[in-house]
Structure 1
Amino acid sequence: MSPAVRQLCLFADIEGYSRHRAPEQVEAQHRLLQVMWYACSTAGVRIHPSHRQDQGDGQLLLLQPGVDEATVIAGLITGLRDALYEVNRNIGWGRLRLRAALSQGAIQVGATGYIGVAVVAASRLLDSPDLRTALAKSRHTDLALIVTDDLYQDVIRQGHSGLDAARFQRVQVANRKKAFRATGWVHVAPPPAENPNVLLPHIERDGRPWRTGMLGVAVTGGAGLLVGGAVAGYELGAFDGDPLPAVADHHGALGQDLYGYDPDGFDDVDGLPEVPHHPDAGWGDPGGWDDGHHDSWSADHI
């Protein structure tokens, strides 16, 4: 079992998902991924592939430890709100509306899922009647969020920029069947005052994003993609605070794409020459997970 690490936990769920037919559910899942990726990008956080749990009509994300919680929470709320505005501009099968829950605590990765009070709390709060009712009654917006009492007391009510404690309403959540009782704080996010000009990522079938960017380059999963005369590779493990990484990511001594390089320091790049850019497994960041370390456009990738 992995060590227990204190992390923020974001759980989101689509309203009314089961009412839709299979093709509409496919579209809903696609939009959900776009919204979640964009929100993380806005908040400046990265999601390790092993810290994401998809559930069809919802998604659970564990954020990296040591983040500025006030900045990240404000960014997540703004990102979710703005991305929902964008995906709902073209209605299609219907509006995507989300319930979301935020908690924090020591979390472990177990054999079949995540372990920790924070994960349980987020799940129970997400399913609370108070949150469901808040979203159902607020037809002018598409996001209702609930946070745990400790997050509200430690972060929300402290007057940080982008967080208005007056917009959070205290609720008591009780689930007798699950032996759960807790205080939560519900926030119904108002729609953006103006068009936020959101650029949503394109989601591939495997759930990984790419989007067009500088020099006509599109980033895609695993292989190179030729767009507008340029070739780029997408490296999932090179998150630098932006869940939509740039293309100058993991490269070997001869310019190889070290896709799948293990950030934990285990050698999974067999048969390649030495990689002086990532000296050894004992180096503090062999996988290039530090902020800003791999976030540039490189001529040897174009």
Structure 2
Amino acid sequence: MLADSFGRSWTGAGMGRPGVFRKPELDGYEHREFNNALHRLHLLAGRPSLTTMARELQAAGMSRSSIHDAFSSTRLPQWHVVDALLEILASRAPGRTPEQQLESMHALWLGAAEAEQRSISQSAQTVPAAVSRTILLFDIERFGSRSDVEQAALRRMLHDIADRILAAAGIGENRRQRADRGDSVMELIDASASVLTLLRVLLNEMPQQLRAINRMAPSSAQFRLRGVLATGSVAVDNLNGWVGSDLNCAVRLLGADALRERTNDFALCISDPVYQETVRHGHPGIPPESFHRAVVETKEGQMTAWLHTPA
């Protein structure tokens, strides 16, 4: 079976025959019963083609895709689509009046709609609660251009550096979660950990460690890191997946052109909440003037970020 991005499911054989609509693979009993009844009514009506039905429903503003999806999509059609179809199918089908067809089909559609709503409600109840976390991301620049051997070595160094930075900030393994993304790592850090201390370590120790590594390494093993520090709410689901708009924003900052254009060994970007809540107050070791505001273009629109410029 094939399925497209619009939820239409196909079995393959006979696609495109006039007056023939493939039945979708449906999990819910109620939706399946409704879809079966709609297909049977279409059969009893003599299987009018999609073109015929679209022409007769043109005045009602019904598109060909809406008509097709009513029969073949895994999504339950809107009632106004079904109602319009019944007008042309019920009048052609023998044995029952259009009013009787309307009553029975509406009962089946209503049962499917209620079952769909129950499923949505149950899914919403299983969504994990979001918790406040500090988000730290590291990414190796130009990772894909390296050989497999070089990539393996760089990944080991990335994890080692991340471990040392977090340890220097007093953040043990019991206060953080890590996700490995190949050329990057993502850290969710307990909200009780000091953002101030972590940022101070990132500004001072991280550049020193990278410079020391690159000074001793051959040119093929030298590398640069991009980093993002942000805060926000993140949920971890039962598949250990991380979800949350604050996390998405941090990932967008990591790939921003403004950060990629930095030429120092460690290019750091912080989110606007981190700047407003921590940096702008001028704590020792974190001069606000070393950060400059940048407007970052992302898929979701513009975001305000702050880029660190080493002295």
Map of 1:83 onto structure 2: 209
User: Are 2:310 and 1:184 aligned?
Assistant: no
SS in structure 2 at match of 1:124: helix
Paired with 1:158 and 1:185, the residues of 2 have a C-alpha distance of 15
Contact 1:102/1:147, CA 8 A, preserved across alignment? yes
CA apart distance, 1:86: 2.7
Paired with 2:265 and 2:241, the residues of 1 have a C-alpha distance of 28
Q: Unpaired runs of 5+ in structure 1?
A: 191-302
Contact 2:175/2:190, CA 8 A, preserved across alignment? no
Map of 1:118 onto structure 2: 246
Contact 1:107/1:119, CA 8 A, preserved across alignment? yes
Q: Unpaired runs of 5+ in structure 2?
A: 1-126
CA apart distance, 1:4: 1.8
User: Are 2:196 and 1:70 aligned?
Assistant: yes
Paired with 1:127 and 1:179, the residues of 2 have a C-alpha distance of 13
Map of 1:11 onto structure 2: 137
The structure 2 residue matched to 1:128, chosen from 231, 241, 256, is 256
Paired with 1:13 and 1:107, the residues of 2 have a C-alpha distance of 20
TM-score by length of 1: 0.57
* Counterpart residue identity of residue 284, structure 2: S
Paired with 1:81 and 1:90, the residues of 2 have a C-alpha distance of 14
1:13-52 to structure 2, matched below 5 A, reads 13-48=139-174, 51-52=177-178
Paired with 1:185 and 1:161, the residues of 2 have a C-alpha distance of 18
Q: Deviations over 1:218-237 (max 9, x none)?
A: xxxxxxxxxxxxxxxxxxxx
CA apart distance, 1:30: 1.0
Distance 1:15 1:189, change over 3 A: farther
Paired with 2:310 and 2:154, the residues of 1 have a C-alpha distance of 20
User: Are 2:275 and 1:149 aligned?
Assistant: no
* Counterpart residue identity of residue 158, structure 2: L
Distance 1:115 1:156, change over 3 A: same
Contact 2:175/2:189, CA 8 A, preserved across alignment? no
Paired with 1:105 and 1:71, the residues of 2 have a C-alpha distance of 18
CA apart distance, 1:189: 4.0
TM-score by length of 2: 0.55
User: Are 2:231 and 1:108 aligned?
Assistant: no
1:125-274 to structure 2, matched below 5 A, reads 125-134=253-262, 138=263, 141-175=264-298, 178-189=299-310
Q: Deviations over 1:196-223 (max 9, x none)?
A: xxxxxxxxxxxxxxxxxxxxxxxxxxxx
Greater relative contact order (Cα 8 A, min sep 6): structure 1 or 2? 1
Paired with 1:70 and 1:14, the residues of 2 have a C-alpha distance of 24
Paired with 1:64 and 1:49, the residues of 2 have a C-alpha distance of 5
Identity level (%): 28
* Counterpart residue identity of residue 185, structure 1: W
SS in structure 1 at match of 2:289: helix
Contact 1:98/1:142, CA 8 A, preserved across alignment? yes
Contact 1:39/1:78, CA 8 A, preserved across alignment? no
Q: Deviations over 1:134-153 (max 9, x none)?
A: 2xxx2xx3001101111111
CA apart distance, 1:79: 3.1
